[in-house]
Amino acid sequence: MQEIEKALEFIIEIEKLKDVQRKTRPVGLKRYENSAEHSWHVCLCALILKDYSNDPLNIDRVIKMLLIHDLGEIDAGDTIIYSSETGEKKAKEKQGLQRLASLLPGNMNIELVNLWEEFESGETADARFAKAIDRIPPLLHNIYGGGHSWKQYGITKEQVFSLNARIGMGSEVLWSEIRSKLEGAVKDGILK
Amino acid sequence: MQEIEKALEFIIEIEKLKDVQRKTRPVGLKRYENSAEHSWHVCLCALILKDYSNDPLNIDRVIKMLLIHDLGEIDAGDTIIYSSETGEKKAKEKQGLQRLASLLPGNMNIELVNLWEEFESGETADARFAKAIDRIPPLLHNIYGGGHSWKQYGITKEQVFSLNARIGMGSEVLWSEIRSKLEGAVKDGILK
């Protein structure tokens, strides 16, 4: 198959991310978010919030990471963050990502896998910021949506504060702002 | 209001793009696409197809343009391309974009409006490629989806070939590939 045909096949295959349902609802909407629209949202969030990074960033790499960070979910599905960080789930996502990447010509294949691995490892400044940004919209969905998914999954305030403290690894300023909104949610009784 | 509060307000406001319904259905899905997931898709399409640009590109700028290119639709709504290119529609989109941008701190505000204007004008190499990419997924949706929206809106093959020839301004190679797929759709009787 010609390279261009393979690229178009990849483009059609990744449409399936539009059919991966997440666990939170966009503010103001009565339906769950899908992983494709989430991916768009976090890319634009990263661009808007880039100046709050703890460390110097390459924002273009951060955006690329966020464009592809959920592709593994086409095969693995989405799981709420509070129970998703298992070896089994991550292995399934990695397999899924590798299957998709194998549809691409060689250099693109490697670039995709490397970016995904960097995001997952969360060790570089770009990946730390990308991972921090990835956490923010679902928290806003809960804070401004009556704590819908916290309630649905029985998530406690201890879980929310403990897991999301990692936002501070990418941006202390953003974590401080989000933490104070979470404290508000606790006061309002939507996070128990 | 603090700058960080304004940025978070913008982030919540742009969630409304997830509620703007487009006129085509992603391949394999029985529902219409929304403008947020479309925006994600075209960003990743641009990255995958960047080597087919007629002219040297700054792919990072192309991706940023595509991230924000539909934000004006939050206020203006989506219209099928074959009837959307009116002064009135464009003016509404521009007003919508400016309203959103006004939620942002000064430098971000200007960057957003300038990128959007550059995309709309379609004069730079980056904008020509971004506009070419923006046209490709809806064509694939029709080609691999029985011509659903062509039929629904009574779009003729003359309209499809004439309007989409502009893909060639960004990439002759991609237009040639898509044109041959469109000719296949005509042969198969899904584009009349």
Mean pLDDT (whole number) for A40-61: 98
CB neighbour class for B73 (10 Å; exposed up to 12, middle 13-18, buried from 19):
buried
Share of chain A above pLDDT 90, in %: 90
B contacts of A67 (beta carbons < 8 Å):
40, 43-44, 47, 63
State the best of A5, A30, A38, A40 to mutate against chain B, taking most chain B CBs within 10 Å. A40
pLDDT value of position B141 = 98
pLDDT digits (tens, 9 = 90+) for B143-155: 999 999 999 999 9
Counting every residue written for chain B, the total comes to 192
pLDDT value of position B83 = 78
DSSP codes joined into one string, A66-87? HHHTTTTHHHH----HHHH--H
State which amino acid sits at residue A117: E
State the best of B33, B37, B134 to mutate against chain A, taking most chain A CBs within 10 Å. B37
pLDDT digits (tens, 9 = 90+) for A52-76: 999 999 999 999 999 999 999 999 9
CA dist., res. B36 & res. A9, Å (int): 21
Domains of chain A, CATH where assigned: 2-187 (1.10.3210.10)
Mean pLDDT (whole number) for A111-120: 97
State which amino acid sits at residue B54: N
B contacts of A44 (beta carbons < 8 Å):
11, 14, 67-68
Q: How does the average pLDDT of chain A come out, rounded?
A: 96
- Alpha-carbon distance values, B130 to B68, B97, B125, B136 (Å): 11, 18, 9, 10
DSSP codes joined into one string, B29-51? -SS--BHHHHHHHHHHHHHHHGG
Residue B82 binned pLDDT confidence (cut-offs 50, 70, 90): confident
pLDDT value of position B102 = 95
> Among B93, B22, B21, which Cα is nearest to A31's?
B21
pLDDT value of position B79 = 86
B contacts of A144 (beta carbons < 8 Å):
12
Counting every residue written for chain A, the total comes to 192
CB B41 to CB A29 under 8 A? no
Cα B159 to its chain centre, rounded Å, is 18
pLDDT digits (tens, 9 = 90+) for B125-142: 999 999 999 999 999 999
pLDDT value of position B27 = 97
